[in-house]
Chain A
Amino acid sequence: MKEVFIRHVFLFLLGFVPMLAEAVIPDTVYLDAVEVKGRHLKKASFQTHSLDSLSIAAYSASDLGSLLAAGSNVFIKNYGPGGLSTASFRGTSANQTLVLWNDIPLNSPNLGQVDFSMIPVQFVDQLQLAWGSAASAMRSGGLGGVVSLDNKPDFNRKLILDVVQTAGSYRHFGSYGTLGYSGRKVIVKTRAFRKSALNDFEFLNTALLPQAMMKQTSADYTDYGFLQELHIYTGKNSQLSAYSWNQWNNRNLPPIMTNIEKGGQPTEFQYDRFHRHMVAFKQFWSGGKLEAKAAYFTENQHYYLKTINNPEDNETVTLIDSRNTTHAFHTVLQANHQLNWWLELTAGYTMDQEAVNTTNFEKLQKRQRNLMKLGATFRPLQDFKGSVYFSREYVDGKASGLSPALELAYVPFDKLPLTIGIGLNRNLRYPSLNDLYWFPGGNAKLKPEIGHTAELFVNLNPQNSHSKHKVNASMFFSDVSDWIQWKPTSYRYWVPVNIARVFARGVELNWQWEGDFNLFHLQASANFAYTRTTDESPVAKIENTAGKQLMYIPRHHANLMAQLDIRQYYVKTAAEFVGKRNTSLNGEEIFTNSLKPYVLFNLALGKSWKLSQGKLTAEFQVLNLLNSHYQAVMWRPMPGRNFQLLLRYAL
């Protein structure tokens, strides 16, 4: 067995020569990538950050963007309730955040990014955040980081029933349900939701003269969808899973505060429908496992804008009816094997075929991406471990350079649960199909963005009989060259070019704490991030923008979540501080060049009743308790203090 494996590894290494790789792939069993998720990985491989169960449970009737904003160092740029919500790690852009669902990328091949408002937390069992070396080890593309969402089969729970109903201000209603059966060998589970809101909140419009209180208009949305899962133990050591995630998102697009009196009675909306189907097979053996996954994703996006001449004749003046369809077929093969007590080898292969048909391209555009990866985790000493990883990607047959990732961790003291470590990696992000083929302006000659990251981290996990702490501190340096920016040209349309060189650096702190004191149980987590991110390219120096903080990346970001349980009662709180964000590259302190810092504070009071079967919970939430008037995106109004009621029944 070992001989076979080593032969395969050897052939895999040779496979970095493209032609040979193509010849070898069909006959080669590629072993798993470095495992970066789950308890096992945390012990043995790259460092990732898991959101605790408290956070996930607290936001189970919300979207992923809201959860990450409140419970992580990921910066969420939110255009308003129900509106677009994008995520960026460590001073990078939203396009450089890779989102994986059971190891399959959710990033749109067309746009390159993910709308986090369209991911219900209810559909997620495990949430891992990875950056630096860990992100590079997962896949290419996550120059900033990776948000990894997983569905975890939980066998032998019998009947599964969990229903949540929410109702709140601005005609917000949400219904979330999970129903299923979990046997010893089979799990059948359906999760479904429907949420909607009118979002007609009042705000002071400071952007239009004369200033006045106004009601938000055209900000309503209705989203619904379901996730169907089937998990079967097909043998003693094998498991087959199937997933089908289907969702329909309908949102009107409100005007910004300066444009509320625009004529033509504009009707502007965006509909997104997606269907994501996946089958996954796992085979375990002593010391290792093999995973094979195949997925087909299709997504339809419909943008519509219509204005009319006047209400009487209803004559159309403007009509934009843009429809984009994407199809993507993904396969993943990954395996790992523990060779001996100190060495574990992993390898993987992914193939992504993408096709985009849109009125914004001249023709149907396709792309095929193949990624091969090989890694090892070694623990030569009890207090020292390391992981090393190499990957190479082929896009339409053309090879990228080798992307290595390395992480070393050391436990220097016997009696102190302290780990110190470093990470180094190189990562690539290929341009989106929009960047390449948008008409006019798309640049088919774009090169991938190249990121180099170095990281120092310290983990401390003290605990006693009453409480346990988990503290992570890290310092990072990230250099992204060939950063893609859209630039104006003499042809009067904008063209993306590999022009910027962005240097991001900063410090991140994460603290989780849990303790019991007599009748009280307290659980809390807090995050703080300081991020400096600047364009240091020669062009930026000429344009005098070098050294200026990039737009919409706060230097300071912090949040805190806490829950205090007293018998059947509980109090939950979530606070988020977002520092000043530049909205242009001007250095001058003037109103349109930056957005002011703000603090959001949410408070919830709840009570649970244990029933003969199951548990009933009622919760009253006050959102934006301090009634902060703030803008997350310039001239996009946000609601003030508002309320929500939640009822939950779970078996």
Chain B
Amino acid sequence: MKCNKILLIFLLLGMASCKEEPADITPGDGLAVGKGFFVLNQGNFTLANASLSFYSYDSAKMSSYLFYKANGAPLGDVAQSMTLWNDLAFIVMNNSGLIYIVDAQTIKFKNKISGLQSPRYVCIINDHKAYVSDLQQPGLTIIDPTAQSITGQVNTGKTVENMVLTNNKVFAANWSAYYQHKPNNTLMVIDPVLDTVTDSVHLVKEPNSMVVDKNEMLWVLCSGGYLNEERPALFKINTSDNSIVNRYDFIDRLSSPTQLVINKNKDSLYYLNNGVYRLSIDDNTLPETPLIPQHAHVFYALEIDPGFNRVVVSDALNYVQDGFVYRYSPNGTLIDSLKSGIIPGQFIFN
């Protein structure tokens, strides 16, 4: 008899048990992010816990999990990059193999481009053409950002990571040799009209980030390789003739500089290398001391606030909990710190 009661309790427990609902948060119809910056939190590989946060200048607060709040679904598996275009945001979900296209103010789902293998970045060429780089495919996928569909391919023969459009050329960094076993120490030059590779510049291993300065010079930061095979280096490249104007070698071969960014005036460069470093585009040597020491942080993403020239840097902590975003004044004084999501990997200013 007692057993029957226990059975009954379990049965009732079961009946009361959760049928998992699609969403436990009402999608926010009234969401409007306003002015500020997005933080794209990568999340952990295969755990699909990427998220989107937004720091509002008006409220001086960080709002997190915007995509889920707006759409009732997770963002996906590894949010690699986000590109704003017109009123839309193209969010590249690396391991989900798709690009979510959302309203940049309400974050409401508009469309998606799926069927990609391992997309990384979007480079908008014009209203009807954009390139999507891929960690696995030896080429670029061409999409139409207006029609929001795949329209073609650019054959590069190797994988491409970051891309920069300048001087009517797309400079594409060959960062990875993991899936396509091709040299990953080059910078390709692509004609965006013909969709063909026109030139290739030999650098050092793993060119990971690029910016263009006020003189139309392209700066490319190379980390030297996954296993520190080469000494890291910063290259200054003339975008007219694709020639290397200057090369700055890092002293410590075991260092791994990343996240090269530039200020609004396009005359100061910043990068991460166990701390935030800054140099002028006119400097002839790399800085020896950081503007902002790393201390116990795990600095992961970097950007310069175009409105105030503030340094915005993320701390991934232990990579399995929500990271932090630190804002520093242009001279490196801490302003505030704000919690975002797991592995804050990119800042996007609107």
Q: Which residues of A are interface residues toward B (Cβ below 8 A)?
A: 204, 206-211, 256-259, 261-264, 307, 309, 317-318, 440, 487-488, 490-493, 513, 522, 524, 526, 542-545, 551, 560, 562, 573, 575, 577, 583-586, 588, 590-593, 596-601, 625-631, 634-635
By the criterion CB–CB under 8 Å, are B316 and A488 in contact? Answer: yes
Known contacts A317-B179, A585-B320; is-contact A207 B18 (Cβ 8 Å)? no
Chain A nearest CB: distance from B80 CB in Å? 13
A543-B321 in contact (CB<8A): yes
Residues in A whose Cβ lies below 8 Å from that of B167: none
A491 B256 Cβ-Cβ under 8 A: yes
Within 8 Å CB of B254, what residues of A?
A: 490-491
Interface of A is mostly: loop
Inter-chain CA distance A491–B321, complex, in Å, is 21
Q: A626-B14, A629-B20 are in contact. List 19 more A-B contacts (CB 8 A).
A: A206-B20, A207-B73, A210-B109, A256-B46, A258-B93, A259-B77, A317-B137, A488-B298, A488-B316, A577-B10, A584-B44, A584-B321, A585-B318, A585-B320, A586-B322, A591-B68, A592-B342, A630-B20, A635-B48
Shortest distance in angstroms between B20's beta carbon and chain A's nearest beta carbon? 4
Residues of A within 8 A of B98 (CB): 261-262
B179 touches A583 (CB 8 A): no
Scoring B residues 65 to 102 as 1 if CB is less than 8 Å from chain A, else 0, what string do you get?
A: 10010011110110000000000000001011110100
Q: B48 → chain A, closest Cβ, in Å?
A: 4
Top 10 A-B residue pairs of the complex, sorted by shortest distance between their CB atoms:
A262-B97, A261-B114, A599-B17, A592-B49, A263-B115, A585-B321, A599-B14, A264-B117, A258-B48, A206-B22
In the complex, what distance in Å separates the CA atom of A257 from the CA atom of B318? 25
Residues of chain A contacted by B65 (CB below 8 angstroms): 590-592
Partner of A543, one of B20, B73, B317: B317
Given contacts A543-B317, A584-B321, A626-B15, contact A208 B73 (CB under 8 A): yes
Binary interface profile of B, 157-200, with partner A (CB < 8 Å = 1, else 0)? 00000000000000000000001100000000000000000000
Which one of B7, B117, B180 lies within 8 Å of A573 (CB-CB)? B7
Q: List 18 A-B contacts (CB under 8 A).
A: A208-B73, A211-B72, A258-B48, A258-B96, A261-B112, A263-B117, A264-B117, A317-B136, A488-B316, A490-B254, A560-B6, A560-B10, A586-B342, A591-B68, A598-B18, A599-B14, A626-B15, A629-B18
Interface string of B31-65 (1 = CB under 8 A from A): 00000000000011011110100000000000011
- Docked-complex contact A307 and B117, CB < 8 angstroms: yes
A258 touching B3 by the CB < 8 A rule? no
Q: Contact check, B115 vs A584: say whether CB atoms are below 8 A apart.
A: no
Provide the residues of chain B in CB contact with A257, threshold 8 Å.
48
Known: A207-B48, A256-B48, A259-B97. A591 touches B137 (CB 8 A): no
**How many Å lie between the Cα of A591 and that of B341 in the bound state?**
12
Query: CB < 8 Å: which of A258, A542, A577 contacts B74?
Result: A258
Closest to A256 in B: B48
Q: Is B274 part of the contact surface with A, judged by Cβ < 8 Å?
A: yes
User: B116 at interface (Cβ–Cβ under 8 A)?
Assistant: yes
Number of A-B pairs, beta carbon distance below 8 Å: 191
Partner among B14, B22, B68, B76 whose Cβ is within 8 Å of the Cβ of A258 = B76
Whether A592 contacts B17 by the Cβ 8 Å rule is no
Any chain A CB within 8 A of the CB of B24?
yes
CB-CB nearest in chain B for A308 = B117
> Cβ of B13 and Cβ of A577 under 8 Å apart?
yes
Instruction: Provide the residues of chain B in CB contact with A204, threshold 8 Å.
Output: 22
Q: Determine whether the beta carbon of A209 is less than 8 Å from that of B73.
A: yes
A256 in contact with B20 (CB, 8 Å): no
Of all chain B residues, which has the CB nearest A494? Answer: B319
B6 with A317: CB separation less than 8 A:
no
The answer to whether A584 touches B116, judged by C-beta atoms less than 8 angstroms apart, is no
Chain B residues numbered 245-260 whose CB sits less than 8 Å from any CB in chain A:
254-256
Q: Are B51 and A592 in contact (CB under 8 A)?
A: yes
Residue of A nearest to B319 (CB): A488
Give A492 to B342 CA distance when docked, in angstroms: 17
